[in-house]
Chains A and B, each alone.
Chain A
Amino acid sequence: AQSVTQLDSQVPVFEEAPVELRCNYSSSVSVYLFWYVQYPNQGLQLLLKYLSGSTLVKGINGFEAEFNKSQTSFHLRKPSVHISDTAEYFCAVHQGGSEKLVFGKGTKLTVNP
């Protein structure tokens, strides 16, 4: 069975600092990878996704992620965060041919002034 591990449950950073949210997955077959963001008291929104092609994927709000097949990782990065990036971020993996999207437990990013 697939699993997704988000290595940090909470990440505090100062405004304008860079940030990396880590995600590892376990799967021996081709997968699609996603990052979703959840702002307080809202549903999840798609931030970016990797389906195929270039391993560096750019998303909304200046976020990007790099797919690393050998390390089975899909870490999310932003070079300079804003207060408004404070939210919970979920990594998810979708195995081709399945309808199931498996989510990690989430990482709460808190951006402090």
Chain B
Amino acid sequence: NAGVTQTPKFRILKIGQSMTLQCTQDMNHNYMYWYRQDPGMGLKLIYYSVGAGITDKGEVPNGYNVSRSTTEDFPLRLELAAPSQTSVYFCASSYDQDRYFGPGTRLTVT
């Protein structure tokens, strides 16, 4: 199993551009999550999904959108990038209470 994979690994965006961060898991987990990690701040939940077709907001959803059309994929969309969205983004899936994290996407908005 590849586990949770994320693409791209790195990206630089200009203010106002849009992009989609991809996340795929091959463990058949129903639950999936998007977190952002800022230095000294831990991880903050952006959005999560309890199954295909069902998504819900986390702590910091503003400026992001998600969709979940399949069990495997949970993309995160940034519509109008802002400098405040410079961060490292982690996707995760879970079985019971254990989270399995992807390797992250480092995004810089300038």
**Which B residues touch A4, using CB under 8 A?**
42
Q: Does B58 contact A (CB under 8 A)?
A: yes
Establish whether residues A100 and B104, one from each chain, have CB atoms under 8 Å apart when the complex forms: no
Question: How far is the CB of B8 from the nearest CB of chain A, in Å?
Answer: 14
**Which B residues touch A105, using CB under 8 A?**
40-42
Also in contact, A106 and B40, with CB within 8 A (given A43-B103, A100-B58): yes
- Grouping DSSP codes into helix (H, G, I), strand (E, B) and loop, the B interface class, with mixed when no group exceeds half, is strand
Establish whether residues A51 and B97, one from each chain, have CB atoms under 8 Å apart when the complex forms: yes
**Which B residues touch A90, using CB under 8 A?**
42-43
Chain B residue with Cβ nearest A90: B42
Name the residue in B31, B42, B56 with the highest tally of chain A Cβ atoms < 10 Å from its Cβ. Answer: B42
Q: Which residues of B contact A (CB under 8 A)?
A: 4, 31, 40-45, 48, 50, 56, 58-59, 90, 92, 97-99, 101-104
Could you write out 28 A-B pairs with CB less than 8 Å apart?
A: A4-B42, A9-B40, A32-B97, A34-B97, A36-B99, A41-B104, A42-B104, A43-B4, A43-B90, A43-B92, A43-B102, A43-B104, A44-B90, A44-B101, A46-B98, A51-B97, A99-B31, A99-B48, A100-B58, A100-B59, A101-B45, A101-B97, A101-B99, A103-B44, A105-B40, A105-B42, A106-B40, A106-B42
